[in-house]
A = this chain, B = another copy of it.
Amino acid sequence: MRFRFTDEQLELRDAVRDLLANECPASVVRAAWEGDMSGPDKVWAGLCDMGVVGLMATEAHGGLGLSDLDLTLILTEVGRAAAPGPLVETAVVAVPLLEKIGGSVAETWVPRVAQGESRVAVGLPGESLVLDASGADLLLLWHGDALHAVDPAEVSITVETSVDRSRRGGRVAWEPGPQPLAVGEEGRRLLDAALERAALGTAAMLLGLGRHLLDVTVTYATDRHQFGVPIGSQQAIKHKLADVAVALAFAEPLVHRAAYSLARGPALVDESARETTAVHVSMAKAAAGDAAELAARHALQCHGAIGYSFEHDLHLWMKRVWALAAAYGDARMHRERIARAIL
């Protein structure tokens, strides 16, 4: 029993954090809102160079051959920086999906995606939009249980506007072709795995978003004076931020545990033998989503009017939280899924 990351995993995380600290300040996120993707593209290239996008690809396809477990700390860093881009959909969902399908599809696309030469977009049922559908070289789309690789030339996209303008995407209209990549039971299994991975990857991002919101609010509450004292010396502020710290602290191990479960299977046998990987993922997404939403709510309240202005960066993180907490199943949907499993 050792519920702790290895030093190598922590070092990779630190390297990603350094990259993002340099390449992805808030101004890059803000520029993406205005459609300037030069910053995010540079970040993406950096992540490709470090092997992050292809982290779960096999070494034969230019990847690192690592797992969800290795990726989870990195996703939290990406969330902390609010870096724009479909990293969950690409590195966590598409790459292992393509690897699982194998054959020429994997050989063609995985190396290019891992190196950042091609972009892939993924449409999962139930989501409000297909992220970065417009710039993709390949679309992975589901039609019932059937997974299709779709040529962007064959779809029409209705652009949707997310409250987080750095999330670009839309609804995709398309006709399923004659040769799906997977159907029936196999297609269903791939879809389930894709949904679990998308939820878990998003949960890991939410942790990082919540951490950032807590950190900047602590700084603001220390600096901002009212009534002759720092507002952060008042219990009302202290206790709100303590609640955020507690929520994040107890969401984190659920995310790490779910990552392990996806990578290696459930393990950790005990009293609660009702546990499955699906339950682990749902616990992680529910807890991380709630914790990040609490962080956003209290961050805004503690900032007051300045946090309510567009010029301040706070809303960039808050809106990402709102979008991601709702994506791939919100907290209630995941708790209901757990209820069906354990009750």
Contacts and interface: CB of A to CB of B under 8 A. Distances in A.
Nearest to A235: B235
Contact residues of A: prevailing secondary structure:
helix
A234 interface: yes
Count the copies.
Answer: 2
Nearest to A236: B235
Contacts of A235: 234-236, 239
A227 to B, nearest CB: 12
Contacts of A234: 235
Interface in A103-144: none
A105 to B, nearest CB: 47
A101 B236 CA distance: 57
A247 to B, nearest CB: 18
Interface in A233-264: 234-236, 239
A40 to B, nearest CB: 42
A297 to B, nearest CB: 16
Interface string A194-236: 0000000000000000000000000000000000000000111
Nearest to A234: B235
A73 to B, nearest CB: 35
A234 B239 CA distance: 12
A234 B236 CA distance: 9
Nearest to A239: B236
A242 to B, nearest CB: 10
A245 to B, nearest CB: 16
Of A234, A235, A239, the most chain B CB neighbours within 10 A belong to A235
A234 B234 CA distance: 9
A236 B238 CA distance: 10
A235 B235 CA distance: 6
A238 to B, nearest CB: 9
A235 B227 CA distance: 14
Interface of A: 234-236, 239
6 contacts: A234-B235, A235-B235, A235-B236, A235-B239, A236-B236, A236-B239
